[in-house]
C-alpha cells in the first residue's frame, strides 16, 4: 500500500486543507493499492500563490542553470525506472516490460531532451530594427490524464520548467502515485521552492480551481474533448493561454499496393497498445473492399496473439483497462457495434476466459464497419478495432477525414511517395507513413476537436513562451 498523505507546495510536503482521501485501485486485482489527499480549491490557491512568488526569480535564471536542474531530474527518473514502471503497470495495467520502455522510459527521455533543446533554442532574434525575445508564459496549470500518466506530466512540466515557467500540477486521480515519485525527485534535486507544486484531487474541484485561478497564466490540459471544452470555458474568464491535447479517432489507410501482412499486423498493434487506452490509437483501419477478406484473416490472427493477463508477469501481451467505469464503457461500445450491424470477427463484450477479476476486456475486431456507426465516430479508449472497407483512394481519404477529431493517422503503400502524398491530405497532427516510429522530439497534437497547440521537442518548449518586441 502506498498511502500518500501530503501535497507538495512551495518546496515542502504539506497536509491538504481538506480531510478527504481518494483510493487508488490496482487495475488487475481490483484492490486498493494506495490513497492520496483529496485536494481543495484552497490548496490550489496556496500552490498558485507559491508559483507566482517563485516565478519572479525562476524566470530570470539562466538557460544553463535551468538545464542543470532538468538534467538532475532526468538522472533521478532514470534511477527510479523500476519504481515508476511497477507503479504504472499496477495503476493503468500496461504489461511491465512495456511499462519500463514507455511509461518510465518516455518521461526520462523528455526531461533528458530539454537540455539540448535549450542549448540551441533561439530565445532572441533581430527583426529589422526590433529585438524579438521569447519569455516564459508565467504560472502554468498542468492537468494530466491517467493513460500515460508520467509521460503526459513530463511533456508539460519539462518544457514549462525549461522555458522558465513555474508549475501547479494536478495529475489524474485514477493514476496519481507516479506523480509523487517525480515530486520526490524534484525535492531531492533542490528545485527552488514554489517552482513545482503538486495538488491531487478531482477534476471538478482541483482541476476547475486551477483553470479559473487568476494567478495561473496558462493551462496545459490533456484529456477528453468534453473535459477540454470545460477547461477552455473556465480559462476564458481570465483570458488564459490554453494548450489542449484531446481525443482521437485516428484512421489507418492501407492502400491496394501495401504489404498487407505487415500493415494489418502493425495496425492491430497500434489499436491495442496500452489496451487501446491511447488517444492517438489507430482505431479505424480503412482498406480496399477487394482486399477485405484477406484483411479480416490477418487481423483476426494478429488480434488473437494479444493474450490478456496479469501485467506484472507471465506472457500477457495486453493488460486490463484502468477502471471498472472504463471497462463498462468499452463493453457498452462493443455491444453497440453488434447492435448497429458491424461484423464481429473476434472478441466481444464478455470477460476474457479465466479473468473475471480485473478490469479486462477481450481484444475485439469489427469488420464491415460504416463510418457513420458509433464505433467509427466515438472514442472508445479500449482494445477495439473497426475495419472500414472503401472503393477508392479518394473515398479512403474522405472517410479518414470524416470525424470531429484530427490527432493521428497512418498510411501504408508500396510506394513511399504515394503514401506521403496521401498523408498530406489527412487533417491530422501526426501521420505514420508505412509504420514510421513515434518520435519523441517531433511535435504532437491535433487538428479540429483533438485540440490546439503542440507538445514535445522544441515545439513543446515554444508553447510555454510569450513573444515580446523591443523596438530599438
**Residue 335 pLDDT grade (very low, low, confident, very high; cuts 50, 70, 90):** very high
Provide φ and ψ at 85, rounded to 5°.
-60, -40
* Predicted pLDDT at 1: 86
Rounded Cα gap, residues 216 and 143, in angstroms: 12
Residue 314 has pLDDT above 80, yes or no: no
Q: What nine digits make up the cell of 60?
A: 530570470
**Residue 252 pLDDT grade (very low, low, confident, very high; cuts 50, 70, 90):** very high
Strand, helix or coil for residue 154 = helix
Catalytic site residue from 173, 279, 296, 379: 279
75 catalytically annotated? no
Rounded to 10°, the helix 81-92/177-189 angle is 160
Q: Where exactly are the structural domains of the chain?
A: 2-246+449-471, 251-440
Q: What nine digits make up the cell of 272?
A: 491495442
Strand, helix or coil for residue 466 = strand
Residue 316 has pLDDT above 90, yes or no: no
Which tens digit of pLDDT belongs to each residue from 263-304? 999 999 999 999 999 999 999 999 999 999 999 999 999 999
Q: What is the mean pLDDT of residues 415-422?
A: 97
Average pLDDT, the chain: 97
Give which of 195, 182, 188, 183 is closest to 140, Cα–Cα: 195
Q: What nine digits make up the cell of 259?
A: 504489404
Q: What is the mean pLDDT of residues 61-67?
A: 97
* Predicted pLDDT at 315: 80
* Predicted pLDDT at 313: 79
Rounded Cα gap, residues 3 and 28, in angstroms: 19
Rounded Cα gap, residues 259 and 67, in angstroms: 44
Thinking of the domain 2-246+449-471, which architecture would CATH place it in? 3-Layer(aba) Sandwich (3.40)
Rounded Cα gap, residues 224 and 379, in angstroms: 9
395 catalytically annotated? no
Catalytic site residue from 38, 91, 245, 455: 245
Q: What is the mean pLDDT of residues 61-66?
A: 97
**What does the DSSP assignment read for 336-349?**
HHHHTT-EEEE--S
Exposure on the CB side of residue 231, measured as CA atoms within 13 A: 31
**Residue 356 pLDDT grade (very low, low, confident, very high; cuts 50, 70, 90):** confident
Domain covering 251-440 assigned CATH 3.40.309.10 in the classification = yes
**CA dihedral over 284, 286, 292, 294, signed as positive or negative:** negative
Give which of 65, 78, 232 is closest to 161, Cα–Cα: 65
Exposure on the CB side of residue 110, measured as CA atoms within 13 A: 28
Per-position b or e across 220-243, b if 16+ CB within 10 A of its CB:
bbbbbbebbebbbebbeeeebbbb
Q: Do 2-246+449-471 and 251-440 come out as alike in CATH topology?
A: no
* Predicted pLDDT at 374: 98
Q: Please report, rounded to a whole number, the percentage of residues in the chain having pLDDT higher than 90.
A: 98
Which tens digit of pLDDT belongs to each residue from 22-40? 999 999 999 999 999 999 9
Of the listed ranges 21-25, 41-45, 209-213, 224-228, the least confidently predicted one is 224-228
Distance of CA 153 to the CA centre of its chain: 9
Element (H, E) at 368: none
Give which of 389, 458, 38 is closest to 206, Cα–Cα: 38
Amino acid at each position: 500500500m502506498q498511502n500518500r498523505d501530503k501535497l507538495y507546495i512551495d518546496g515542502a510536503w504539506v497536509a491538504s486543507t481538506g480531510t478527504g482521501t481518494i483510493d487508488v485501485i490496482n487495475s488487475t486485482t481490483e484492490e486498493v493499492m494506495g490513497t492520496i489527499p483529496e485536494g481543495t480549491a484552497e490548496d490550489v490557491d496556496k500552490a498558485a500563490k507559491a508559483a507566482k512568488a517563485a516565478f519572479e526569480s525562476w524566470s530570470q535564471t539562466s538557460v544553463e542553470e535551468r538545464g542543470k536542474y532538468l538534467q538532475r531530474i532526468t538522472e533521478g527518473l532514470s534511477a527510479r525506472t523500476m519504481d515508476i514502471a511497477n507503479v504504472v503497470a499496477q495503476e493503468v495495467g500496461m504489461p511491465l516490460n512495456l511499462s519500463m520502455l514507455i511509461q518510465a522510459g518516455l518521461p526520462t527521455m523528455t526531461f533528458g531532451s530539454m537540455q539540448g533543446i535549450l542549448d540551441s533554442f533561439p530565445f532572441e532574434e533581430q527583426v529589422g530594427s526590433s529585438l524579438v525575445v521569447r519569455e516564459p508564459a508565467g504560472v502554468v496549470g498542468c492537468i494530466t490524464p491517467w493513460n500515460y500518466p508520467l509521460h503526459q506530466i513530463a511533456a508539460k512540466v519539462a518544457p514549462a520548467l525549461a522555458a522558465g515557467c513555474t508549475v501547479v500540477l494536478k495529475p489524474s486521480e485514477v493514476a496519481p502515485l507516479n506523480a509523487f515519485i517525480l515530486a520526490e525527485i524534484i525535492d531531492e534535486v533542490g528545485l527552488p521552492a514554489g517552482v513545482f507544486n503538486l495538488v491531487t484531487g478531482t477534476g471538478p474541484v482541483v482541476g476547475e480551481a486551477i483553470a479559473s485561478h487568476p494567478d495561473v497564466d496558462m493551462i496545459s490540459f490533456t484529456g477528453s474533448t468534453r473535459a477540454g471544452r470545460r477547461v477552455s470555458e473556465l480559462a476564458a474568464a481570465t483570458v488564459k493561454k490554453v494548450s489542449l491535447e484531446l481525443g482521437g479517432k485516428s484512421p489507418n489507410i492501407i492502400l491496394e499496393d501495401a504489404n498487407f501482412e505487415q500493415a494489418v499486423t502493425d495496425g492491430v498493434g497500434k489499436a491495442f497498445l496500452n489496451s487501446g487506452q491511447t488517444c492517438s490509437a489507430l482505431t479505424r483501419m480503412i482498406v480496399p473492399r477487394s482486399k477485405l477478406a484477406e484483411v479480416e484473416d490477418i487481423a483476426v490472427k494478429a488480434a488473437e496473439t494479444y493474450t490478456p493477463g496479469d501485467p506484472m508477469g507471465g506472457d500477457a501481451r495486453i493488460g486490463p483497462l484502468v477502471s471498472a467505469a472504463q471497462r463498462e464503457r468499452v463493453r457498452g461500445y462493443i455491444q453497440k457495434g453488434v447492435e448497429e450491424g458491424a461484423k464481429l470477427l473476434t472478441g466481444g463484450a464478455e470477460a476474457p476466459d479465466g479473468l473475471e477479476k480485473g478490469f479486462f476486456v477481450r481484444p475485439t475486431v469489427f469488420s464491415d464497419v460504416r463510418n457513420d456507426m458509433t464505433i467509427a465516430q466515438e472514442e472508445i479508449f479500449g482494445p477495439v478495432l473497426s475495419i472500414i472497407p472503401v472503393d477508392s483512394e479518394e473515398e479512403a481519404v474522405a472517410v479518414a477525414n470524416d470525424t470531429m477529431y484530427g490527432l493521428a493517422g497512418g498510411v501504408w503503400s508500396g510506394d513511399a511517395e504515394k503514401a506521403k502524398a496521401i498523408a498530406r491530405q489527412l487533417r491530422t497532427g501526426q501521420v505514420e507513413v508505412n509504420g514510421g516510429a513515434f518520435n519523441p522530439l517531433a511535435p504532437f497534437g491535433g487538428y479540429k476537436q483533438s485540440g490546439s497547440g503542440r507538445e514535445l521537442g522544441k515545439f513543446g518548449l515554444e508553447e510555454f513562451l510569450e513573444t515580446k518586441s523591443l523596438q530599438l
